[in-house]
Amino acid sequence: MSDSPTAPFLAACRRQPVDHTPVWFMRQAGRALPEYWATRAPGSILDTIIQPDLAAEITLQPIRRYGVDAAILFSDIVVPIWATGFGVDIVPGRGPVVEEPVRSAADLDRLRSLDPEGDTGFVLETVRILKRELPASVPLIGFAGAPFTVSSYLVEGGPSRDFLKVKTLMHTDPATWERLVEHLAQLAIDSVTSQIAAGVDAVQLFDSWAGALSPADYERFALPATKRVLDAVSALGVPSILFGVGTGELLGLMSSAGPDVVGVDWRVPLDVARARVGGNRAVQGNLDPAACFAPFDVVAEQTRAVLECAGTEPGHIFNLGHGVLPETDPGILGAVVELVHAEGRAGVGA
């Protein structure tokens, strides 16, 4: 079955009772696993993403290893823009790097729209393989980058600390900014719509770097395009998750963009986050990924603190506050999954 309503992950997205608290980890498919390195093709990660058999295998590895409650498609947020021929590569240890960044209105002429099957057929084939391989109790999460976060790579030319160029563009040339994020919203909509048609059960929108914006700037420059993408997902009847890092002051606005679930980093306790996002949204998070490097009794204590703050109301998906760090001991993550399954209380037995 492609979307079992009983899968704990999907039930928690919809704030329904669960028999155990579901857990998955952002970046669970990847660098912490030796089997990832054995499977991954040499070179850019894009060379692996375009091979559906390899991408599907890498997606399944953390399911086998950790017993998590959801799979996340092995791909990257820059895949749609890359697939439309905009020069971008993913440099190991660094991240997405853009040959000729967007700096003015003229650069927008180099953007073109996505033909999901023609440009990203490999992603859709990966989804189809996974829907055959995954048990119904383990839904498949598809994803896209939110317009602001993807634009940050396109305008900065690569990863950035201060986001100076992207902020300068939005403040000095708001018309060009708006055209850029509207284009990126449409790209995300076309990508996730095709992923949903191919079988993904939920969609996470990664606005990883939204926390760089003030609430007023987030509301004006990022939220409208983000909301468009979430509206499109929700019109297709699939639950959505909106996640960003350092977004404590943005949680209420992110909630107003309309996701079913708001992803929270480790800086905001989940009881505080629940109050900020409101009672009509689930929350996802939020163990500090760096806490996984402590001895397990400390990790267990921190895991229990997250579960405690999540409370007993339905609507908690356990996750890290950001992605798995590459040097993480996979054994620790497996033990966290067991602990969450044994002790998670949000919506359990409700």
Binding site for ligand CP3 (CB under 6 A): 26-31, 40, 45, 72, 74, 76-77, 90, 92-96, 143, 206, 208, 323
In the complex, least distance from residue 96 CB atom to ligand CP3, rounded to whole angstroms? 5
Dist. CA 170–CA 313, nearest whole Å: 40
- My answer on whether omega of the bond before 286 falls inside 30° of 0, hence cis, is yes
Q: Kindly list the distances between the CA atom of residue 112 and the CA atoms of 81, 143, 281, 329, in Å, as whole numbers in the listed order.
A: 9, 20, 34, 41
Nearer to ligand CP3, 27 or 267 (CB): 27
Q: Are strands 88-91 and 71-72 parallel, antiparallel or unpaired?
A: unpaired
**Residue 107's CB: how many other CB atoms inside 10 A?**
16
In the complex, least distance from residue 43 CB atom to ligand CP3, rounded to whole angstroms? 9
In the complex, least distance from residue 124 CB atom to ligand CP3, rounded to whole angstroms? 16
In the complex, least distance from residue 74 CB atom to ligand CP3, rounded to whole angstroms? 5
Q: Pull the structure tokens for residue 25.
A: 């980890």
Q: Kindly give the residue spans of alpha helices, DSSP state H, lying in 199-329.
A: 215-217, 223-235, 251-256, 270-277, 296-310
Nearer to ligand CP3, 60 or 309 (CB): 60
Nearer to ligand CP3, 15 or 319 (CB): 319
Nearer to ligand CP3, 64 or 94 (CB): 94
Q: Pull the structure tokens for residue 317.
A: 């998906």
Nearer to ligand CP3, 26 or 277 (CB): 26
Dist. CA 249–CA 10, nearest whole Å: 27
3-state secondary structure 300-344: HHHHHHHHHHHCCCCCEEEEECCCCCCCCCHHHHHHHHHHHHHHC
In the complex, least distance from residue 204 CB atom to ligand CP3, rounded to whole angstroms? 7
Contact status, residue 331 vs residue 293, Cβ threshold 8 Å: no
**Single-letter amino acid, residue 178:** E
In the complex, least distance from residue 295 CB atom to ligand CP3, rounded to whole angstroms? 25
Active site residues: 27, 31, 40, 76, 153
Spatial CB neighbours of 115, under 8 Å, sequence gap ≥ 6:
none
Burial class (CB in 10 A: 0-12, 13-18, 19+), 132: exposed
Nearer to ligand CP3, 109 or 162 (CB): 162
